[in-house]
Amino acid sequence: MTVDPSALSFDSLAVHAGQAADATTGAVIPPVHFSTTFVQDGIGGLRGGWEYGRSGNPTRTALQEQLAALEGGRHALSFASGLAAEDALLRAALKPGDDVLLGNDVYGGTYRLLARVLGPWGVGLRIVDMSDLDHVRAAVAEKAPTILWVETPSNPLLRVTDIAGLAQLGHDAGSLVVVDNTFASPALQRPLAHGADVVVHSTTKYLGGHSDVVGGALVLDDDALAEKTTFLQFAAGAVSGPMDAWLTTRGIKTLALRMQRHSENGLALAEFLDADDRVAHVYYPGLPAHPGHDIARRQMTGFGGIVSVALEDAESARRFAESLRVFQLAESLGGVESLVNYPDAMTHASVRGTELAVPAEVVRLSVGIEDVDDLRADLDQALSAL
């Protein structure tokens, strides 16, 4: 007997989608297929369509089925990194002379790719605060963009954008609406259900979840765009390798559990920091005073594990980040272990002096799944060091 994934709910899909037991041996965990090539029964006689590892690999296909099921999309494509996924999508959807409208608080690498790689190829770029739909409306009226690109919650200031409102606005203008769902993961937010056209992931973060594999993905419904991006995945070749795909699949099986704990710890620590006068401001959509709190409650099922704080000045922010012990000072986020990042000089150094620059007093915490008391004590000792 095999499970029919269409009958399952999210937490079960995370475990079972794309993961049918091996037909030959009954192995409960499907084998990792390292083979780069597949025997043909006569010229062109492919077994199950498998031919060559760049065009298709069973371990990557299993991950793609898992990702499509979790985001509720018809197609998913897995890449060697989040930026490789973004690059394939952008090149599939844009041509010289087209224009991208980008949120003003997105991952620095997304901005760098658009401004410094695609810009010289003739792609226009405009930046707007996506969480303010009036600003977006005005920018769209000025010139309809080919792509509207948003991250919600955003990195690192946790701005929240109303995905359904943005999708409506974008579709009225004929734009493709792309949501980078890396911060929430499909366990907390499914943008396609709110009207987005494409979901982008750095699977390096929560989906992989253990800080041991770099990867990226696209999930979408439209068959024609899926065909174009699949062609670029094959023709440019930034695919995920079999071991990377398998590690990501393994991480995803515990996604629902991890996101629950990340969200519980995130909320507890955001409340703790918010009540402390040594902290100037806490950015966390789970706090009722957060400007996007009501929208986040509507479109998310938890507020996630990223909490950013503003200290009094840049000096205090640096000292705070360097005084934490359980939170390790490192780039990236979304793993089981807690990390602290100083955006201005680390993850967002590439957007210094641009419209995306992060205030120098801001520190970003990626709250892990450790015991919340240990994390709270660590924050307390680092604040005492100021």
Catalytic residue list contains 111: no
* 137: number of Cβ within 10 Å: 16
Query: The tokens 């966390």 sit on which residue?
Result: 284
In angstroms, what is the minimal distance from the CB of 8 to ligand PLP?
28
Residue 217's nearest CA partner among 35, 61, 106, 109 is 61
Judged by beta carbon, residue 173 or residue 176, the one nearer ligand PLP is: 176
Among 82, 153, 170, 285, binds ligand PLP (CB under 6 A): 82
By CB under 6 A, tell whether 151 contacts ligand PLP: yes
Give the Cα separation of 323 and 327 in Å (integer).
Answer: 9
Among 50, 59, 76, 107, binds ligand PLP (CB under 6 A): 107
Tokens of 152: 């919600």
Q: What is the DSSP secondary structure assignment for residue 325, as one 8-state letter?
A: S
**Of 28-36, 37-45, 76-84, 296-304, which segment contacts ligand PLP by CB under 6 A?**
76-84
Among 59, 64, 81, 316, binds ligand PLP (CB under 6 A): 81
**Of 29-37, 111-119, 176-184, 280-288, which segment contacts ligand PLP by CB under 6 A?**
176-184
Site residues (CB under 6 A) for ligand PLP, limited to 189-248: 202, 204-205, 214, 216
* Cis amide linkage into residue 153, ω under 30° from 0: yes
Q: Of 107, 111, 206, 283, which residue is the catalytic one? A: 107
Catalytic residue list contains 205: yes
Output helix, strand, coil percentages for the chain, rounded to the nearest 5.
Answer: 40, 15, 45
Count of residues that interact with ligand PLP, criterion CB under 6 A: 16
Positive or negative torsion for Cα 168, 303, 64, 73:
negative
Catalytic residue list contains 54: yes
* Cis amide linkage into residue 156, ω under 30° from 0: yes
Catalytic residue list contains 180: yes
By beta-carbon distance, which residue lies closest to ligand PLP? 82
Site residues (CB under 6 A) for ligand PLP, limited to 313-342: none
By CB under 6 A, tell whether 104 contacts ligand PLP: no
Judged by beta carbon, residue 213 or residue 267, the one nearer ligand PLP is: 213
By CB under 6 A, tell whether 87 contacts ligand PLP: no
CB half-sphere exposure, 200, CA atoms < 13 A: 24
In angstroms, what is the minimal distance from the CB of 142 to ligand PLP?
26
**Of 63-71, 80-88, 90-98, 188-196, which segment contacts ligand PLP by CB under 6 A?**
80-88
Among 61, 104, 155, 316, binds ligand PLP (CB under 6 A): 155
Residues 6 or more apart whose CB falls under 8 angstroms from that of 363 comprise 308, 309, 310, 311, 317, 320, 321, 340, 341, 342, 343
* 297: number of Cβ within 10 Å: 14
In angstroms, what is the minimal distance from the CB of 95 to ligand PLP?
23
CB 56 within 8 Å of CB 31: no
Residues 6 or more apart whose CB falls under 8 angstroms from that of 170 comprise 140, 148, 176, 177
- Active site members: 54, 107, 180, 205
Question: Which stretches of the chain bind ligand PLP, using CB under 6 A?
Answer: 81-83, 107, 109-110, 151, 155, 180, 182-183, 202, 204-205, 214, 216
